[in-house]
Amino acid sequence: MKREELVHGSGYLLILLPPVLMACSTVQGLLVLPFVCLIFVAPLLRLVLGDAPPKQPEWSEPAAMLLELLPMTAAVVFLLSVGYSAWAIGQQELAAGEWVQYGLSLWAVAIFSSCYAHELLHRPRAPVSKALGRLVSGAMGYPLLEHEHREHHIQSGDVVETDWARVDESLWSYTARRMKRVAFDAWEGDQQAAALKGHRLAGGLPMAVAAMLVTGALFYAVAGLPGLTVYCAVAAGVAWTLQAMTYVQHWGLGPDAVPDAQEGDYAWEDGCRLQAWLSLCISYHQAHHHQAAVPYYRREILPGSPRQPAGYIVLLFASMVPPLWRSLMLPALKAWQREPYRQVSAGRRIFCLNR
């Protein structure tokens, strides 16, 4: 295996860190540690690691095989970690503040788990991968992930159906509209998918919902009503956060601001090395929309795509304050519209204001 393969490929192993950290921190009583590491420390590591190379390595067959297995491994580790941390938390007497700390950490880990669930759900003709993706999406509290995402890819640039966000729309307005639409369409989409496969339970939603119910029952069994309450709060937080991430990925790139939005399938991209590792290259988002079946380890950032002025986590919190969001993103949008092939990456900076 070449050095380039070893260095870049080993970075993807970091997706195992969040669930392992959650299990260990719960046992040690450091309940807020995963939240702090993933939400506050990880974005700062951009100052050290900078951007990933624009091209993926030429993977050898053994390396590609290992990288293909990695999301499945991460899914199993996550499911075991959730069960173990639920059991461990049930052995402790926690104050209200400690439950909040645990809930924040579980939310952060669940958000990162959506990255490998997403990768697994995209694999064609891979029933084991899809089953693991559905189990993870259910256990993390968002069983609608598969059906929401399927519609999202079909309805490129659609601001009416909330797959893209209007340039004048706030995060709060968008997520309220999108959550309503996703919840309404999920059952219908599952029934259509099941009909194509000839079995009413084959659409994927029943398995994901069952995983969520089993996880909720586990928290109630080992940690009582407080455990169930925290899990339900985390599930609601995960559902909202994933809609917020769609806002971050597609804001301002619909037909209200970009005339060829539906043909271009535009999405914001970012070259941050650590983010690419932890998200399995979801941050190369326009490339993903253009070739959804390409596995994460072969995905490359697209020349001419709109570039984010910061990473996902920073922009997620910035989007919660609409004036701050617009001050960061409007200049980036205008810079891309003016000169799409001269976008500046944030590199080893937290922010990069393209003007």
**pLDDT per residue as tens digits for the range 180-201:** 888 887 766 666 665 666 655 5
Cα 44 to the chain's mean position, in Å? Answer: 19
| pLDDT on residue 153 | 86
Whether the pLDDT of residue 354 is over 70: the answer is no
Nearest to 119 by CA among 138, 143, 141, 145: 145
| pLDDT on residue 113 | 98
Burial 146-176 (b: 16+ CB within 10 A, else e): bbbbbbbeeebbbbeebbbbbbebbbeebbe
| pLDDT on residue 192 | 66
Name the pLDDT band for 37 (thresholds 50, 70, 90). Answer: very high
In the chain, what are the domain boundaries? 3-260
Between 323 and 162, the higher pLDDT residue = 323
For tokens 């420390």, what's the residue?
A: 41
- To the nearest 10°, the Cα dihedral for 302, 43, 212, 19? 110
| pLDDT on residue 110 | 98
pLDDT 10s digits, 76-134:
999 999 999 999 999 999 999 999 999 999 999 999 999 999 999 999 889 999 999 99
For tokens 């920073």, what's the residue?
A: 314
Q: Are 284 and 301 in contact (CB under 8 A)?
A: yes
Q: Pick from 12-21, 199-208, 256-265, 345-354 the range whose average pLDDT is largest.
A: 12-21
pLDDT 10s digits, 46-85:
999 999 999 999 999 999 999 999 999 999 999 999 999 9
User: Model-level pTM?
Assistant: 0.94
| pLDDT on residue 284 | 97
Whether the pLDDT of residue 202 is over 60: the answer is no
Token readout for 168 is 């004048």
